[in-house]
Amino acid sequence: MASTEPTPVTLDERHVADATALVAEAGWNQTAEDWRLFLRAGQGIGYVAEGRLVASALALPYGPAFGWISMVLVTAEYRRRGLARRLLSEAIALLEDAGRVAILDATPAGEALYRQIGFTPHFPLHRWQREAATVTPPRAEAIRAAGPQDADAVIAYDREVFQGERGAILADILRRDSPHAMRRDGRGIALSRNGRISRQIGPILAENAADARAMLETILAAGDGPVFMDVPDHQLALTRAAAALGFTRQRPLLRMVRGPQRFADIDRLYALAGPELG
């Protein structure tokens, strides 16, 4: 067991390299670019010991009603010392002290802890994974490539469906060199970003399953390499489409809320931005 007593810190640029190392140790997908975005959009907290970051957590405010908790990571030699629980409690306080409801996407390993401290299930979902393969572009004239010039329309539609304020995050993703898609009338969006080990597709928000699939196929046809996509279990049409397109279920997740409130129009929520972003 490590002997150095960890010291609490607020994360900033100096901690990005160590935070990315925590991600790699856990086998997660986030990049240094993602961590910089997280720290601009929210507040990262953690513990340092022996000159390095050994634990992290993130609180992202999404407007006045709710916020997101994610990136709860502890390096192996400092686990089972209560660091994750302490960081989780502090992240919750950062949101709830400002009147926001705390939401997160739990892995099976974390679900029991979250239930103990007042989180209740909202809906189950699964991560889907697809290896590199060719996809023929869909014959859907209403779907087109999206970019930074579409930020206002993307943010407005996300606000309507997701019911939170994460415009800066979506604008940052739109600026990245990764395929995106949207309906020409702005009533549907699908974004993607490059990850440490795989491209992450999401969010996908749409008026119907046919549009969600067409935007997904547009992104797949425009890019290459493996991809992840996190799909709510109630979106049966998209899960069937994912299977037909060569995706396989990787692992379950559970959206959980600390409080009675529920957020987002989940009928139009076809894929998440990722457990770290909601």
153 and 236 fall within a common domain: yes
165-173 average pLDDT score: 97
170 and 35 fall within a common domain: no
242 and 156 fall within a common domain: yes
Q: For all residues of the chain together, what is the average pLDDT?
A: 94
Rounded Cα distance, 262 and 255, in Å: 10
156 and 224 fall within a common domain: yes
89-103 average pLDDT score: 98
254 and 210 fall within a common domain: yes
Q: Is the pLDDT of residue 230 over 50?
A: yes
170 and 42 fall within a common domain: no
134 and 56 fall within a common domain: no
pLDDT range class, residue 222, cuts 50, 70, 90: confident
Looking at 60, 79, 99, the residue that finishes a domain is 99
Domain contains 84 = yes
Residue 3's pLDDT is 60
CATH number at 147 reads 3.40.630.90
CA torsion through residues 93, 97, 98, 101, sign: positive
Residue 132's pLDDT is 78
Q: Is the pLDDT of residue 14 over 60?
A: yes
Domain contains 140 = yes
pLDDT range class, residue 4, cuts 50, 70, 90: confident
Domain contains 256 = yes
Residue 224's pLDDT is 81
Residue 265's pLDDT is 97
Domain contains 66 = yes
Rounded Cα distance, 161 and 102, in Å: 18
92 and 139 fall within a common domain: no
CATH number at 79 reads 3.40.630.30
CB of 70 within 8 A of CB of 105? Answer: yes
Looking at 53, 83, 99, the residue that finishes a domain is 99
246-272 average pLDDT score: 95
pLDDT range class, residue 11, cuts 50, 70, 90: very high
pTM for this structure?
0.94
Residue with tokens 């390993």: 109
Domain contains 114 = no
Q: Is the pLDDT of residue 216 over 70?
A: yes
Domain contains 277 = no
131 and 266 fall within a common domain: yes
Q: From the CB of residue 152, how many other CB atoms can be counted at a distance below 10 Å?
A: 11
Considering only residues 195 and 2, tell me which one the structure prediction assigns the higher pLDDT. 195
Q: Is the pLDDT of residue 22 over 80?
A: yes
What percent of the chain clears pLDDT 90, i.e. is strictly above it? 88
254 and 137 fall within a common domain: yes
228 and 173 fall within a common domain: yes
Domain contains 24 = yes
Domain contains 81 = yes
Q: Is the pLDDT of residue 1 over 60?
A: no
Structural domain of 192? 127-271
Residue 228's pLDDT is 97
**DSSP β-ladder status, 66-74 and 101-106:** parallel
Q: Could you give the number of structural domains in the chain?
A: 2
173 and 266 fall within a common domain: yes
Considering only residues 165 and 133, tell me which one the structure prediction assigns the higher pLDDT. 165
Q: Is the pLDDT of residue 227 over 60?
A: yes
pLDDT range class, residue 83, cuts 50, 70, 90: very high
CA distances from 194 to 6, 143, 167, 175, 226 (A): 32, 21, 19, 12, 10
